[in-house]
C-alpha cells in the first residue's frame, strides 16, 4: 500500500513538473520571436546608418505570412537580397504606422541618419501574450 501511495505521489509531482516545463518552453519560444523581431528591425536601421551603398533600408511587415522582410530602397518581394524572418509563435497585429497614405506596413530607415517617417507602433502576439514595438522619428525601436 505504501509503495502504491508513493508511486501515486511521484506521478502527481512528475505531471505538475512536466506541465510547468512545457509552459516555460512555450514562453521561451515567444521571447525568442520578440527578440528576433527587435534584432531584425535594429539591423535594418544599422544597415541604413552604415550605408555601404548609399541606399535606404527598411522592414516590410507581412501580416498574412507572419514575417518581417528587410529590403533595400523600396520593397520588392522578388528581390534576391531580401532577408526574411518568420515568426514561429506570434502574429503581427495592431499595425499603426504613419503615413496613413500609401504603404503603411513598411518601416523605411533613411541612409546615414537612420531616421524614419514611418513612426508608430505594431504588436506581435497571440491569445495569451503580446508585445508592442514603438518606432520614433529617429528610427529608435522600443
Average pLDDT over residues 29-52: 91
Written as nine digits, the cell of 121 is 507602433
pLDDT of residue 87: 94
Burial class (CB in 10 A: 0-12, 13-18, 19+), 2: exposed
Residue 62's closest CA among 82, 47, 42?
A: 82
On whether the pTM is more than 0.75, the answer is yes
> In angstroms, what CA-CA distances link 53 with 48, 49, 70, 80, 111?
9, 11, 15, 16, 9
Q: What is the pLDDT of residue 28?
A: 87
The pLDDT, as a whole number, for residue 14 is 87
Average pLDDT, the chain: 89
Domains annotated on the chain, with CATH: 2-135 (3.55.40)
Say if residues 73 and 55 touch (Cβ distance below 8 Å): yes
Residue 54 has pLDDT above 90, yes or no: no
CA distances from 101 to 7, 84, 106, 117, 119 (A): 65, 25, 12, 12, 13
pLDDT tens profile 67-123: 999 999 889 999 999 999 999 889 998 888 887 555 678 999 999 899 998 899 999
Confidence of residue 27 (pLDDT cuts 50, 70, 90): confident
Of the listed ranges 10-14, 51-55, 99-103, the one predicted with least confidence: 99-103
Angstrom distance (rounded) from CA 56 to CA 72: 6
Amino acid at each position: 500500500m505504501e509503495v502504491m501511495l508513493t508511486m501515486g505521489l511521484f506521478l502527481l509531482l512528475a505531471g505538475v513538473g512536466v506541465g510547468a516545463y512545457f509552459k516555460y518552453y512555450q514562453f521561451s519560444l515567444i521571447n525568442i520571436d520578440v527578440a528576433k523581431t527587435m534584432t531584425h528591425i535594429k539591423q535594418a536601421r544599422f544597415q541604413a546608418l552604415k550605408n555601404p551603398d548609399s541606399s535606404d533600408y527598411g522592414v516590410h511587415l507581412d501580416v498574412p505570412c507572419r514575417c518581417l522582410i528587410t529590403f533595400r530602397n523600396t520593397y520588392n518581394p522578388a528581390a534576391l537580397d531580401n532577408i526574411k524572418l518568420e515568426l514561429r509563435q506570434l502574429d503581427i497585429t495592431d499595425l499603426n504606422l504613419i503615413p496613413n497614405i500609401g504603404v503603411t506596413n513598411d518601416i523605411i530607415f533613411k541612409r546615414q541618419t537612420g531616421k524614419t517617417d514611418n513612426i508608430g507602433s505594431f504588436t506581435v502576439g497571440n491569445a495569451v501574450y503580446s508585445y508592442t514595438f514603438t518606432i520614433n522619428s529617429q528610427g529608435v525601436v522600443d
